[in-house]
């Protein structure tokens, strides 16, 4: 059966949350791109966590952090920041290839750690981080905040309610015909490749929708047009589960005819999300030979912001021992699928995840 939406996904965000035992938080990486350091601090504040320190190699960025949060401690060396006894939890917002080692340093310093996605760029790195977190008795999680996106939560609820029966086939992904970009996210050595960015969100969604063990992954990578960057032009990973269910995930810069963001087939119906940015989808159900449809507008459900929901979930875990929605093992499972896809693209064979 498909997993039900976690109870923790329904926790309310309390902006006035006060704790007699405050959790002091820090970020590594306060770069200006997407203002992710600022965003993480704002999400954490709304969960009752206390912004305490920020680190960035760029002195102008740490000055901006101090201006955004008066009284914030600032550093240009994250290892010095990890020595600060006032810091309880650290968020790693660095480029993908730095996630593994920096996550390991954070938990080895006895700090709770939130890694931006992807968790690491190898299963070996993920395993090392998990082992160190267990050794030092700290929480390690991955910022798969899109597990809390309204459209994903709504689809999980539709499936949990049995509206489309047992899901067995998923098609998912993003595509368009466009240059993949010039930033580090288009550099395979730094980003991991085209499937490791938005693709890891889709893989996390798929593995949440179908929690069955993964048997193998078959991948097809193309490098045909955009030679000025090292990421692939198109990636496709077909995930076969031990139950016989499967998912087809694609991320493409060569898709002149993009398909739906999600197409989920079940034994009694289907879910189709055509527009990747609308958060609306159609539920089709077949009963007694009659097909009916209903449009599901996620905006009507008023789900909280996914970043706020992620940190509310984490705060409840750290304060009260509530179950953690996104565990380090969840992050590792995604990396195992991605790593198997990399091997399959080279071997032209179905590859089992590590």
The model scores a pTM over 0.95: no
- C-alpha separations of 268 from 165, 205, 292 in Å: 5, 21, 11
* pLDDT score recorded for residue 10: 44
Block residue for tokens 């055509």 = 274
Mean pLDDT of 324-352: 98
Alpha-carbon dihedral 23, 28, 30, 36, rounded to 10 degrees: -70
* pLDDT score recorded for residue 300: 79
Alpha helices by DSSP H, listed for the chain, are 36-46, 59-68, 78-81, 99-108, 123-135, 150-160, 188-191, 198-209, 306-320, 328-347
Residue 6 has pLDDT above 90, yes or no: no
The percentage of the chain sitting over the pLDDT mark of 70, rounded to a whole number, equals 94
Beta bridge partners, 173, equal 250
Average pLDDT over the chain, rounded to whole?
93
What is the per-residue pLDDT across 91-108, written as a single tens digit (0 to 9) for each? 999 999 999 999 999 999
Mean pLDDT of 324-332: 98
Q: How far is 267 from 165, CA to CA, in rounded Å? A: 5
The least confident of 10-14, 19-23, 158-162, 185-189 is 10-14
Distance between first and last Cα of the chain: 24
The least confident of 20-24, 25-29, 74-78 is 20-24
Mean pLDDT of 141-145: 98
| CB 326 within 8 Å of CB 334 | no
Check residue 352 and give left, alpha or beta (phi > 0: left; psi -120 to 50: alpha): beta
Mean pLDDT of 12-39: 77
Residue 178 has pLDDT above 80, yes or no: yes
What is the per-residue pLDDT across 32-47, written as a single tens digit (0 to 9) for each? 777 999 999 999 999 9
DSSP 75: E
Residue 140 has pLDDT above 70, yes or no: yes
Instruction: Give Dmax (Cα) for the chain.
Output: 66
Q: Read out DSSP for 175-218?
A: E-BS---SSGGG-HHHH--GGGTHHHHHHHHHHHH--SPEEEEE
What is the per-residue pLDDT across 53-86, written as a single tens digit (0 to 9) for each? 999 999 999 999 999 999 999 999 999 999 999 9
Mean pLDDT of 136-161: 96
- C-alpha separations of 64 from 38, 39, 58, 255, 307 in Å: 10, 13, 10, 39, 22
Starting at the edge strand found earlier in the chain, the sheet holding 262-266 runs 214-222, 234-241, 246-252, 167-175, 262-266, 269-273, 280-287, 290-297
Is the bond into 133 cis (omega within 30 degrees of 0)?
Answer: no
Grade residue 16 by pLDDT with cuts at 50, 70 and 90.
Answer: very low
Q: How far is 256 from 248, CA to CA, in rounded Å? A: 18
Q: How far is 226 from 125, CA to CA, in rounded Å? A: 30
The least confident of 111-125, 170-184, 287-301, 329-343 is 287-301
* pLDDT score recorded for residue 257: 95
The phi and psi torsions of 82 (rounded to 5 degrees) equal -65, -15
The least confident of 2-6, 87-91, 118-122 is 2-6
| CB 254 within 8 Å of CB 224 | yes
Mean pLDDT of 1-27: 59
The phi and psi torsions of 118 (rounded to 5 degrees) equal -70, 155
* pLDDT score recorded for residue 13: 42
* pLDDT score recorded for residue 14: 44
What is the per-residue pLDDT across 236-283, written as a single tens digit (0 to 9) for each? 999 999 999 999 999 999 999 999 999 999 999 999 999 988 889 999
Q: How far is 141 from 91, CA to CA, in rounded Å? A: 10
* pLDDT score recorded for residue 20: 63
């Amino acid at each position: 059966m498909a997993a039900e939406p976690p109870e923790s996904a329904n926790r309310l965000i309390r902006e006035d949350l006060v704790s007699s035992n405050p959790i002091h938080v820090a970020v590594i990486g306060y770069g200006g791109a997407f203002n992710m350091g600022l965003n993480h601090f704002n999400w954490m504040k709304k969960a009752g966590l206390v912004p305490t320190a920020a680190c960035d190699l760029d002195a102008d960025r740490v000055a901006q952090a101090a201006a955004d949060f008066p009284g914030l401690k600032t550093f240009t060396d994250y290892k010095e920041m990890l020595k600060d006894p006032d810091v309880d939890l650290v968020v790693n917002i660095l480029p993908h290839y730095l996630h593994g080692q920096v996550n390991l340093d954070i938990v080895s310093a006895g700090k709770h750690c939130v890694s931006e996605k992807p968790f690491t760029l190898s299963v070996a790195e993920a395993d090392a981080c998990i082992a160190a977190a267990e050794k030092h008795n700290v929480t390690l999680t991955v910022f798969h905040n899109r597990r809390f996106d309204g459209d994903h939560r709504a689809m999980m609820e539709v499936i949990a309610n049995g509206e489309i029966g047992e899901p067995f086939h998923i098609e998912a992904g993003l595509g368009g015909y466009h240059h993949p970009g010039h930033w580090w996210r288009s550099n395979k050595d730094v980003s991991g490749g085209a499937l490791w960015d938005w693709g890891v969100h889709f893989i996390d969604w798929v593995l949440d929708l179908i929690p069955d063990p993964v048997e193998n992954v078959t991948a097809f990578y193309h490098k045909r047009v955009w030679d000025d960057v090292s990421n692939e032009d198109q990636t496709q990973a077909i995930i076969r589960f031990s139950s016989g269910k499967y998912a087809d995930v694609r991320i493409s810069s060569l898709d002149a005819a993009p398909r739906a963001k999600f197409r989920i087939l079940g034994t009694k119906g289907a879910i189709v999300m055509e527009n990747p940015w609308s958060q609306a989808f159609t539920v089709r159900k077949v009963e007694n030979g009659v097909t009916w449809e209903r449009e599901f507008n996620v905006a009507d459900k008023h789900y909280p912001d996914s970043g706020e929901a992620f940190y509310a979930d984490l705060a409840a875990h750290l304060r009260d021992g509530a179950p953690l929605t996104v565990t380090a093992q969840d992050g590792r499972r995604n990396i195992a699928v991605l790593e198997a896809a990399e091997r399959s693209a080279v071997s032209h064979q179905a590859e089992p995840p590590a």
